[in-house]
Amino acid sequence: MNDSLLVEEYRGKVLENVHYGVVCGVNEHGEVIYSAGDELHVTYLRSAAKPFQAIPVAKQNIDGKFGLTSREAALFTASHRGESYHIEGLESILAKTGISEEELLTCPTYPLNDEPKLACVAQGTPKRRLFHNCAGKHLGFLALSRERGFSTNDYYEHTHPAQQEALEAFAYLAEYPKDQIQLGVDGCGFPVFAAPLKHLAIAYLKLGCPDLIEDEKTREAVVKITGWMTANPDIIASHNFICTALLTDPNIIAKGGAMGVYGFALKKERISFALKVLDGSELVWPLVIASILEQINYENKETIARLHALTPREIKNDNQLIVGEKRAVFTMKQK
């Protein structure tokens, strides 16, 4: 495998940990213009696929038919962290669509964020399917399946027509043959796509620059979806999270997935990036993406500062003493 050393972590003067990975950047023509490692490295998208999986939901105008607000509809693309504003939105979707919580495949769990999780434990609140971080995506597919007259008891199977529409939407935007996309099963039970990083970057390019999408209905759906995301950064993950830090910048469309995969597009610059941290770490995303933006001389320094605030370079111990540092050490090749 042709990978690149992305991040080094030092405790004192001793190198204690390293993170290898791959970075790929493409221009508006889908040409690779920046790379670190093999841009054809195949990886599962995990939740970075959610904006594409929401395309058939948006095409069916599920938000309009059920009177959903932009914040509620944004949950179709979210990996929510179980904050009160997430659960309120999900419960509102249940009420407006008539879907019951028991219809969701998602397993009952506690919220991902510590504060709401501890509150549930302290109050004796039982685990819920809505607390699962993929609940919004599942609600979107259930609503879509009802509207289209599809079966709902197997909405998560890869052969289900709603799932096939999502797969086709991603293949179209990624400019990658549908039959070459490898399928697995994600943590929530949905099909998960695997494709080369270059094509994930191309797909994100279309999210940032929907004028590049020839099919009118797909283009309109993407404009709607990215509008939900940009208007509601905290819904996509939560406050103090990288997706929020990036989506707060109106020039950026971004979404991460489990096990270290991330995609983002810069609208004005008409370029996009996909990356994979090979050890699956999400903790170094802010360092890596901040370095990418610094290397291309991105003009919005506030966005870069937000990323560094999420993952400071300094390593502190339990007593908050600085005992080491993290360094982004890769240099992208320009092509």
Please state the rounded mean pLDDT for residues 119-128.
96
Measured CA to CA, the distance from residue 182 to residue 194 in angstroms comes to: 5
Measured CA to CA, the distance from residue 227 to residue 231 in angstroms comes to: 6
Token pair recorded at residue 40 = 């054809």
pLDDT over 90 for what percent of the chain?
98
Domain boundaries defined on the chain: 4-334
Q: What is the pLDDT of residue 1?
A: 65
HSE of 270 in the Cβ direction (CA atoms, 13 Å)? Answer: 9
Q: Are strands 261-266 and 271-277 parallel, antiparallel or unpaired?
A: antiparallel
φ/ψ (deg, to 5) at 16: -100, -30
Please state the rounded mean pLDDT for residues 129-138.
98
Q: Quickly state the pLDDT bin for 187 (edges 50, 70, 90).
A: very high
pLDDT in tens, 196-224: 999 999 999 999 999 999 999 999 999 99
Length of the chain: 335
CATH code given to domain 4-334: 3.40.710
pLDDT in tens, 26-50: 999 999 999 999 999 999 999 999 9
Stretch (H or E) spanning 163: helix 161-174
What angle is formed at CA 134 by the lines to CA 150 and CA 238, rounded to 5 degrees? Answer: 140
Q: Quick count: other Cβ atoms within 10 Å of Cβ 188?
A: 20
pLDDT over 70 for what percent of the chain?
100
Q: What is the pLDDT of residue 335?
A: 83
Q: Quickly state the pLDDT bin for 179 (edges 50, 70, 90).
A: very high
- The reported pTM is 0.96
Rounded to the nearest integer, the mean pLDDT of the chain is 97
Q: What is the pLDDT of residue 171?
A: 98
Q: What is the pLDDT of residue 78?
A: 97
Say how far residue 257 (Cα) sits from the centre of its chain. 5
Token pair recorded at residue 245 = 């830090």
Does pLDDT of 141 surpass 70?
A: yes
